[in-house]
Structure 1
């Protein structure tokens, strides 16, 4: 079975003390994971080291950075490089999140550059893609997300692709309280997998985890994750509530 992943994205939330307490509350539940299940905490940069120390002895629990620079090093004040993340033994990094694309004007090319740096350093990218409301209403979401994959991912070898996690974000469902129906989620996830199969192979497509990233909550996670092509979730708001995120972990296939 493909890896089933519950990935928390704390975004720019929580003080250090609040973050420590949230992590403690979740870990204190001692949720057992199967061999194919993975839990990832995407925490703000200042909390990476401490969070990693809390989970690095736990089976199938990891920490992710929420972003990285597309430059290897140099005079880029305020940026964080892939090599810096690697030096902290961080194993995952979220790239191409819709908020980074929208608010910071990140392009598919820049995201592609980040992807290459991460894979070159042995980190696993969580690559985000997805369409805004206008595209969904126009019915062109398939073409939109296919373009994101082609321009950022499809220069990779099949071997490198194995180390990428994809997170599909229906931007119209993030922070709005709206959630795609299970049918909509399954449909777009299956389409993404078919695009990968066409570019690489069915074997490559069947091996890649595709997460749903649109308002996953404790009360809809099980239904969403039951879809054959949905391999878990990239969770925003619900990941800031210990009891909710614990239930989301438990909902993994």
Structure 2
């Protein structure tokens, strides 16, 4: 798939601004040729392009469900930028990340969500818990909420740890129908009292056509795996079928979340 045919804009990174060292894979704030700042997720970092695939698919699913998500863009990076970076670790990262990366619009002066300070009603809490169970996002805990308050509204960020089935090498069909045990550590679980209502609503929104259109956004360049004979389209089909199967069996992760909630 050509990125020019997608709904995602493509920008050219023009300046490396500063690393965000709280992230394990060294994301950074960069400036692009549209004069906006982005949080750049590098293809050469950590889990590589699979983290970018998860960020893109999970983020656009969240957007389709009505959550506030920073704009996601494809970000072209010229590895020559490494020449002007004094930090050797960052030099290596830039050299390893030439080509197509992923950026999220930088929410300037946003503050980190704090469950003690920031109130979330039962409906929104249930929606976020449902989303994270569906996309198997293990990274929404009290230690690392991956939520921001920007202009007094709640925004969801950082979904690179979602869809972890694609790291396991195990059968995707088996993974799709598994409960989401990590929900027990979800920062909003105690407030998620409307999961069944949300389940019915979100299952109606996420039609097969909508899921397929989101997965179709993944660039071919991120789907070619060394040693694999599967085509990019075959790999997209795995993501589509995983999500469709998980949605068709959503009662499994809803019941798991409800059970975990009784233990909180």
Normalized against structure 2, the TM-score is what?
Answer: 0.29
Larger-Rg structure: 2
Normalized against structure 1, the TM-score is what?
Answer: 0.30
